Amino acid sequence: YVYNFLEGKGNCESNGLKWSKEFSEAVLMNNASFYTAIRNSVVNPQEISFSPSSGFHHARPNRGSAFCTFSGQVISSLKIWEEFKMSGCYLDLDGHFGNSIEDTRSFTPNLNHAIPPGFNFNPKLYDAEYFGEVENFIGKTLEPALLAGKIHYIVWCHGADSHKEDQLGDQCSTEWWMKCADYFWQWVREMEAKLGRNIPVSCSLFGGYRDDDFNSVLSLHTGDLMSCVKNCIEIDVDY
């Protein structure tokens, strides 16, 4: 499948997108950006590591799916495991279940070390209940695993297609979407104080679909980043 996609043949359009050489190169850069952000968070945990990328979490080992070509999470975390023997947690708040990690566990056994079972988090409910899922997982599952040394780095994937006005999503109003962002970045700061060190955290875009208003998607992602800047490096930006 990898060679098919790079060469534009066979199931190269199984992601549902028209193939071109330029697109194939963009996909490689997208995956490289995601990996580099995660690796930078591990090597330089005092820095904010951000990758403006998406198109990963529905891809499978032998084909693409739903706008996703290669699983950037799987590729990146396997490379981090091979180099540093560090395990990661994905907080995938995209509006759709990120199946790529689970669909690849039997194909790549080392994935269970790179991303331990149970640490590919995807909330399912709506508004306050959605926020409660995020709060519960972070407080009762992720925090103990971080303190115990089971999880070494975190990837925050706050997909904008979980927003109620997205064309493909319907879970959160702007208020609850931003509450998730504020809660997470505040928690990162509190955990760093508790641990006495910086936590490797990187963030990425993931989904967001509004062909009638691209800026509405970008404004959500920007709001998330501004919450990060405010809570993690204490620069208060009025956005």
Q: What is the pLDDT of residues 25-54, one digit of tens each?
A: 999 999 999 999 999 999 999 998 999 999
pLDDT of 57 above 90: yes
Provide mean pLDDT across the span 89-115: 95
Provide mean pLDDT across the span 157-163: 94
Provide the percentage of residues in the chain whose pLDDT is more than 90. Answer: 93
pLDDT of 149 above 90: yes
| 97, 67 contact by CB (below 8 A) | no
Residue 61 pLDDT: 95
SS3 (DSSP) at 68: strand
Residue 238 pLDDT: 84
Mean of per-residue pLDDT scores for the chain: 96
The CB-side HSE value for 67 (13 A sphere, CA atoms) comes to: 11
pLDDT of 180 above 90: yes
pLDDT of 128 above 90: yes
| 34, 51 contact by CB (below 8 A) | yes
66-69 long-range contacts, CB within 8 A, separation 24+: 66/15, 66/16, 66/96, 67/15, 67/16, 67/17, 68/15, 68/100, 69/5, 69/15, 69/17, 69/27
pLDDT band of 237, cuts 50, 70, 90: confident
| The Cα angle at residue 157 between residues 152 and 160, in degrees rounded to 5 | 165
| 94, 161 contact by CB (below 8 A) | yes
| 150, 216 contact by CB (below 8 A) | no
pLDDT band of 58, cuts 50, 70, 90: very high
pLDDT band of 214, cuts 50, 70, 90: very high
Q: Distance between CA atoms of 130 and 158, rounded to whole angstroms?
A: 13
Considering only CA atoms, which of 121, 114, 125, 237 is closest in space to residue 184?
A: 121
| 207, 159 contact by CB (below 8 A) | yes
pLDDT of 236 above 90: no
pLDDT, one tens digit per residue, over 222-232 is: 999 999 999 99
Higher-pLDDT residue of 24 and 98 is 24
91: which 2 tokens?
């907080």
Residue 239 pLDDT: 84
